[in-house]
Amino acid sequence: MSTTEKPVESIAEQAKAIYEARIRAQVEAEHFGEFLALDVDSGDWEVDKNLLDASNRLRARRPQTRTFFLRVGHVAAVVMSGVQI
């Protein structure tokens, strides 16, 4: 990782702020439960029920993307029970 790259934690915070401010209202009604791939540098995004499809479409437009994945209407993209990380 280069010294100019931002740490993982701030990517999540940035992405959630962008999502709340600019995207959520556009997607929640029609895309509940789908995965949203968000490029944290440009604010560009793609939504799809398939996470990889959203990722691939975003990457096609933004080859240098730093992507954060959200799940529309959910706290996080993935749920995991009882696993120590």
Partner 1 sequence: MIGFVSPRLWAMVQVRVLGTNAEEMIEAVVDTGFSAFLTLPFVTIERLGLQPQGILQVVLADGNAIETETFSARIELNGELRDVYVVHTETQPLIGMSFLENCQLLIEVRDGGAVSVQSL
- Give the interface with partner 1 as residue ranges (CB under 8 A): 8-9, 11-12, 37, 51-52, 55, 65-70, 75-85
Shortest Å distance, C-beta 65 to partner 1: 7
Nearer to partner 1, 5 or 30 (CB): 5
Q: Which residues contact 51 (CB under 8 A, 6 or more apart)?
A: 35, 37, 69, 77
The smaller minimum CB distance to partner 1, of residues 9 and 30, is found at 9
Q: Considering Cα of 25, then 9, then 34, then 53, what sign does the dihedral take?
A: positive
Least separation, in Å, of the C-beta of 31 and partner 1? Answer: 16
DSSP helix/strand/coil, 69: strand
Pairing state of beta strands 35-39 and 67-71?
A: antiparallel
* Residue closer to partner 1, measured from CB, 29 or 83: 83
